[in-house]
Chain A
Amino acid sequence: MFYRETGQYKTTYAADMAVFPILQDRIALGLMLLAVAVGVPLFAMLFPATGNYFLQVIMIPFLIFALAAIGLNILTGYTGLMSLGSGAFMGVGAFACYKLTTIFPDVPIVIWVVVSGVFSCLVGVLFGLPSLRIKGFYLAVATLAAQFFLQWCFVRIPWLFNYNASGAIEVPERTLFGLAVTGANATPLARYFVVLAVVAGMTWVASNLIHGRIGRSWMAVRDMDIAAQLMGIQLLPAKLLAFAVSSFYCGVAGAMMVFFWYATGAEPEVFSIRQSFFVLSMIIIGGLGSLVGSFFGAALIYIMPIVLGAIANWSGAPISAATIEHLRVMLTGALIIFFLIVEPHGLARLWQIAKQKLRIWPFPY
């Protein structure tokens, strides 16, 4: 209905192969970016109370989870490799970042965030090796090995958390351009900007990879590995690359989760198998093999319960926080089943369908 594609013809392959070939989509995307990069911060400055709450409780974690979901989606959605270990890979990122920034306090934290991704990337490749021989559910189980082993390391290797009595990461204060971005004194706004920048940049990179040779070989492996081999695609390198990129994204997400969301510190428990399940359910509901789906999934799985909680409180109904939490878990499960039944390909597919309808409006097909 809002699409006006008439006259939007492509005279170059570059234009034809663009990720957003339709003008209206590009406009929408631009407005969206404007909203999150300018609108939200303005709002936060004008109404600090609600604004900071909104940033701290909604936006920052949402973006971080979305990033983790993208990571897992690259592995599970695009390459078809089931993983239950994403939580642990996030942990690797977090601990790596912690060690790095405590050993080299003067290096800008953002750099360490990215580098910590490299660490979890290496670990990911290590645990990806079995994927050559193991497929499907077997592989899923293999990734559990990673999950539990790494979790164990987080708890048992005190060096990782600098022998803190608490056994947890204690986030030190770090500044960027003289502005505190981590630690107790970092304002939500400052942290939000860092997170937004990183997530936006990495999403862009992910979409580039997916729309190019690498993305195609991933999907080829996913859809028909035999044929892929006969195209000259070597399975192990392709799969390992997927593992590497995926756990890189998870690692960065994990590091940001501790440094820019919790901002003060985190227990190893954060990176338990439940976290893995949480992220996995995001990409299931959001849509396997879809970037935008990762955002949808993160939004639904993470934000929806908060909204419900808010409603519950606001309605003044005598519901304990625990009960809400339990309901949240149940609801998440119910949603997963519901979406699998109505649309096995998740919100992303629904989004696509809706878009298609708008494009051919007023016609039904």
Chain B
Amino acid sequence: MTHHRSDDIAPGDILLAVENVSLAFGGVKAITEVSFDIRKGEIRAIIGPNGAGKTSMLNVINGFYNPNEGRITFAGRTRPRMKPYEAASQGIARTFQNVALFKGMSTLDNIMAGRTLKMRRNFFWQALRHGPALDEEIEHRKFCEEIIDFLEIEHIRKTPVGKLPYGLQKRVELGRALAMEPTLLLLDEPMAGMNLEEKEDMSRFVIDVNNHYGTTIALIEHDIGVVMDLSDRIVVLEYGRKIADGTPAEVKSDQKVIDAYLGVAH
């Protein structure tokens, strides 16, 4: 599949920089002065016990929450406030902890929805659904079919996602995110509630996405084993603070981490 990228960041360079970001709901502090970066082309994991502020971190990155302090630089642009759809248009896609698919639509339509930003035909053509509008529709359908083939979900192409088993829904959601041709892909517990086999499949897909599309991936995951295998570097959060940051090996041997997390049975 051909991939067009606008940003000129070389692989290995910093794609996203989070600089002492803090976030609070009313009085409750969700994130406190956390800083880390994500390099182009890497698989970056964010781990930590429940309520460590992992999901909040993702929500800050894709503009769903706005940090009370600190700044976020993405693709060289530092932004004060940003709306989620702006994050989307800058190439940040994301999946959710508890699948957030469009229940009333088919697998294909869900993935097609991921192409919305790339579709240009105006209302008039849409109303006719002929000529340019149809051509555009077809062109994007082709793109989505590549993803469907890639994720091996041909057999459920036209099934309403509501009817699908959980594991497949997660896969469709990944497909929907991929349809956006993201520069940065945020995965919130992509393997939560999956059996071993499904986890293996999903990890394979995550790696393939990273290889095949060169997509930078930041993921939250509870299964330590999976995280260690998948990711190039890991950030560890606890109570909204960063307690460690480094390669799987480094993190594994970090005493604070062991106490805070690995020590505790999950």
A212 & B129 in contact (Cβ 8 Å cutoff)? yes
Q: Check B84–A217 contact: CB distance below 8 A.
A: no
A16 to B64 alpha-carbon distance, docked (Å)? 37
The answer to whether B126 and A208 touch across the interface, beta carbons within 8 angstroms, is: yes
A227–B96 touching, CB < 8 Å: yes
Out of A208, A216, A223, name the residue touching B129 (CB < 8 Å).
A208
Give the size range of B's interface with the partner: 35 or more
- Segment at the B interface, from A88-96, A180-188, A229-237: A229-237
Tell me if B100 and A227 are in contact (CB < 8 A).
yes
**Which residues between 187 and 240 of chain A lie within 8 Å of chain B, taking CB atoms?**
205, 208-209, 211-214, 216-217, 219-220, 222-224, 226-234
Q: A216-B105, A226-B64, A289-B104 are in contact. List 15 more A-B contacts (CB 8 A).
A: A13-B138, A208-B127, A209-B126, A211-B129, A213-B121, A213-B126, A213-B137, A219-B105, A220-B105, A220-B113, A223-B102, A224-B100, A227-B102, A230-B94, A231-B176
Which residue of chain B is the closest to A226 with respect to CB atoms?
B100
Asked if B119 contacts A213 (CB within 8 A), the reply is yes
Q: Is B114 an interface residue (CB 8 A)?
A: yes
Query: B180 contacts the other chain (Cβ, under 8 Å)?
Result: yes
Chain A residues numbered 216-273 whose CB sits less than 8 Å from any CB in chain B: 216-217, 219-220, 222-224, 226-234, 241
The secondary structure that dominates the A interface is: helix
With a cutoff of 8 Å between Cβ atoms, the chain A residues found around residue B112 in the complex are: 213, 216
Contact (Cβ within 8 A) A231 B113: yes
Considering only CB atoms, which chain A residue lies closest to B96 in the complex? A227
CB of A34 within 8 Å of the partner chain:
no
Tell me how far the C-beta of A180 lies from the nearest C-beta in chain B, rounded to whole angstroms: 31
**Is B255 part of the binding interface, using a Cβ–Cβ cutoff of 8 Å?**
no
Query: Chain B contacts of A211 at CB under 8 A?
Result: 129
Give CA–CA (A220, B112) in the complex, Å: 11
| Contact residues in B for A341 (Cβ distance below 8 Å) | none
Q: Is B199 an interface residue (CB 8 A)?
A: no
Least CB distance from B104 to A in Å reads 5
- Known contacts A17-B141, A213-B116, A230 near B103 by CB under 8 Å: no
Contact status of A13 and B129, CB under 8 A, knowing A216-B113, A227-B102, A232-B88: no
Count chain B CB atoms within 10 A of each CB in A13, A230, A232 and give the residue with the most.
Answer: A230
A103: CB under 8 A from chain B? no
Contacts of B134 in A (CB 8 A): 14
> CB-CB contacts of B78-117 with A at 8 A, as 1s and 0s?
0000011101110001101000111111000100111111
Closest to B108 in A: A17
B137 and A232 within 8 A (CB):
no
**Most chain B CB within a 10 A radius of its CB, from A205, A211, A212, A214:** A212
Query: When A and B form their complex, which 7 residue pairs have the shortest distance between CB atoms, in order from nearest?
Result: A232-B88, A208-B129, A232-B117, A223-B102, A229-B84, A227-B100, A13-B138
List the B residue with the shortest CB-CB distance to A205. B127
A212 in contact with B85 given A13-B142, A205-B127, A231-B176 (CB within 8 Å): no
The answer to whether A230 and B88 touch across the interface, beta carbons within 8 angstroms, is yes
Contact A223 B103 (CB under 8 A): yes
CA distance A212 to B134 in the complex (A): 9
B84 surroundings in chain A (CB, below 8 A): 226, 229-230
Q: How far is the CB of A290 from chain B (nearest CB, A)?
A: 11
Chain A residues lying within 8 Å of B121, measured Cβ to Cβ, are: 213
Task: Flag if A208 contacts B128 (CB, 8 Å).
Answer: yes
Within 8 A of B (CB), among A65-112: none
A230/B141 in contact, CB under 8 A: no
Shortest CB-to-CB span from A293 to chain B, Å, is 13
A232 contact set on B, CB distance < 8 A: 85, 88-89, 116-117, 180
Q: In the bound complex, do residue A214 and residue B126 qualify as a contact, i.e. CB atoms below 8 Å apart?
A: yes
For residue A335, give the distance in angstroms from its CB to the closest CB of chain B: 24
In the complex, chain A residues whose CB is within 8 Å of the CB of B116:
213, 216-217, 220, 231-233
For residue B72, CB closer than 8 A to chain A, the reply is no
Expressed in whole angstroms, the Cα–Cα distance for A13 and B96 within the complex equals 31
Which residues on B sit within 8 Å (CB–CB) of A224? Answer: 100-103
- Chain B 211-233 interface mask (CB, 8 Å, partner A; 1/0): 00000000000000000000000
Residues of A within 8 A of B87 (CB): 230
Bound CA span A209–B121, Å: 12
In this assembly, does B45 line the interface, its C-beta being within 8 Å of a C-beta of chain A? no
Min Cβ gap B21→A in Å is 19
| Contact flag A219-B104 (CB < 8 Å), given A213-B119, A232-B88 | yes
Q: Does B187 lie at the interface of the complex (its beta carbon under 8 Å from any beta carbon of A)?
A: no
A227–B113 CA distance with the chains assembled, in angstroms: 10
B149 → A minimal CB distance (Å): 14
| Distance of A13 Cα from B135 Cα, bound (Å) | 10
A212 and B64 in contact, given A219-B105, A222-B104, A233-B116 (Cβ under 8 angstroms): no
Cβ of A234: which chain B residues have Cβ within 8 Å of it? Answer: 83, 85
**Residue among A216, A222, A227 having the largest count of chain B Cβ atoms under 10 Å:** A227
